[in-house]
Amino acid sequence: ATSAAAAAIAAKVDPAVVDITTTLGYQSAKAAGTGMVITSSGEVLTNNHVIDGATKITAQIAGAGTIYNAKVIGTDPTQDVALIQLEGVSGMKTVTIGDATKVTVGSAAVAIGNALDLPGPPSVTSGSVTALNQSITAGDEGGGNSENLTGLLETDALLRPGNSGGPLVDSSGAVIGMNTAASTGSSRFS
C-alpha cells in the first residue's frame, strides 16, 4: 500500500489500538508495546513479552487522551500472547478480526504500533506478506528469554521495538496477525 493508503487504513484501526507502558520490577524501569482492543469492555490482546515482569501496566488509546490502568487476565508465554483488561472502561471501539487463512504471499500488510515509544498516534508501515507458516526462535536484545514461535506470517513491513502486540492488518483494515518479532535482517513476523 502507498503511504497515503496505509495512513487511511490505519485511521480506521487506530481507535482500537493502545500504547502499552509497563513498569518493571527491577529499578522501576519502563517498557513500551502495543495492544489491540478486542471487546467493547476493554479486553486488549498483546504479546506476553510486552507485559512479562510488569508490576504496573497502563494503556492509552492511539497515543492520546486518558491513560488507563490495566491488569493481566491471562497469558500464554509459549505462544507469546497475553490478554489484559483496561480498568473502568465501556463502549470501546474494537479491531475487526480478518481471516489469516486467506492470506497469501504478496498480500498487502500494514503494521501499526507504538514503535520506539514515540509520542502521538501509532506508527504505520506498509509492505506485503513474504512467507507463510514460518518458525523462529525469538529473543530479546539482551539475548535472554528466547522462545520458539511457529505458524507465523513473515512481512517486509518495517517493525521496531514497541510495535510488539500491535495489529498487522490487510488492505481493508482487518487484523490478520499480531506484530511479534523483528529479525536483525529485513524480515518481520506476525
State the catalytic residue, choosing from 19, 80, 126, 170. 80
State the catalytic residue, choosing from 14, 19, 123, 164. 164
If phi > 0 it is left, if psi is from -120 to 50 it is alpha, else beta; for residue 143 that is: left
C-alpha distances (whole Å) from 159 to each of 25, 37, 56, 80, 182 are: 26, 20, 25, 17, 6
Rounded distance, CA 101 to CA 45, Å? 19
State the catalytic residue, choosing from 14, 19, 49, 190. 49
Backbone angles phi, psi at 2, to 5 degrees: -65, 165
Is-catalytic flag, 40? no
Report whether 177 contacts 17 (CB < 8 A).
no
Is-catalytic flag, 49? yes
Q: Per this entry, what is the length of the chain?
A: 190
Name the residue among 122, 112, 107, 97 with its Cα closest to residue 171.
107
Is-catalytic flag, 164? yes
Residues belonging to the active site: 49, 80, 164
